[in-house]
Structure formats: structure tokens, C-alpha cells
Amino acid sequence: RNQHQPRQLRRNPVHTAVPIVLGLDQPATEALPSPRILAIHMPYSLLPDSMTSSSCRFVYICRDPKDTLVSMWHFREKTRPKTMEPTPFAEAFEAFCEGTSPVGPMWDHALEYWRASLRSPEKVLFLKYEEMMDEPVGNVRRLAEFMGCPFTEEEEKGGVVEEIVKLCGFENLKNLEVNKVGTQGGPGC
């Protein structure tokens, strides 16, 4: 509990605290202290049994497909090498609709995690991005409970949940200097 103090997000890019893992054969992830918090974009069906049959917990955040497409397109355009030609949005739209993606069709991806959350709600929490934005306090509580770290009465009365929502809010994070000039780091980045 409280392993990552608020100053962590103020001093380091978020991907330092929660590294993005692009593949599961990265030995650097093993070097991280336990318990580990990692971000992955892998379909549930491709996760190894060592993860799905262990005590690992998964939080899947599903977003409106239109918003997912636009966000992915902007991200890819922002991070593409200068030597690579830009991808016209119409081309990205066609590929998205056809399910051409490094992680497979978005529909299958979301459906796998949704089904897993129905089979094993104690292991897989399926959240909708739009609902998180509409009710952030309730969803932070829900996430804490799912992770086995519910807020104490003292924390609730002290406004800890609201502080977390404010600290992790888009407006706050985008205005932090570290997120304007910092670089991603950590395993898989």
C-alpha cells in the first residue's frame, strides 16, 4: 500500500511507475519488485498460463471504438519515425474496421477480457473508460477493492479517494512538467 507516493507521478513519467510491456519474454520485468503493476496490450488468449492460472489480477479498460481508433491514430502519428510516411486517417480507419492490428481485432480483444471477467470476476475487472470518466471516485473505490486494498474509513474521511482522482486526472497529468519533457522508461518502453 502507498508504494508509489504522489511525488512519483510528479517527478517521473507515469510509464516509470507502470511500465508498458510489449512482450512477455522481457527479463527486465522479472527484476521489478513484487507486487508488480504492468501495462499490457496483449489479448487475453495470448497471456501465458503462468499469468492466467496464477493469482495475477487483470484490469481491462474498454473504450468506445471510435475514440480508440482516433487515439491510436494520433499516438502512432506522434510516435512514428520521421523516415516513415504518415498514415492517412482513411487508411487507418479501414485497417481498424478490418481488424488489422498488432493485437488483433479490437472487438475480439475486448470480448476476450469481458468473457474472462464474467468467468472470473475476482481475477479480471472489466471497466469502461467512459464510465470511469463519468464516475471517477466510485471507480477508484471499485479498483481499490478489486486489488484487495479498499480504502479505510479514515482515508475516506480524509479525502484520499478524491486526492487520487485529482492527481491522476488528465488535466493534472498533462500539465506536469515531467509529462511535457520527460521520456518513457522502464521495461518494454
Q: Which three cell numbers stand for residue 103?
A: 493485437
Cell of 92: 487507418
Q: E-assigned strands of the chain?
A: 20-21, 39-40, 58-62, 124-128
Sign of CA dihedral 36, 41, 44, 46: negative
Angle in degrees, CA 83, 92, 98, rounded to 5:
135
What is the signed CA dihedral for 4, 24, 114, 169, rounded to 10 degrees? 30
CA atoms within 13 A on the CB side of 87: 20
How far is Cα 44 from Cα 46, in angstroms, rounded to an integer? Answer: 5
- Check if 41 is active-site: yes
In this structure, what C-alpha cell is assigned to residue 108? Answer: 475480439
Per the DSSP assignment, residues forming a β-bridge with 59 are 125
Q: Please pick, among 4, 41, 74, 109, the residue that the annotation labels catalytic.
A: 41
DSSP state letters, 69-82? HHHHHHHHHHHS-T
Residues designated catalytic:
41
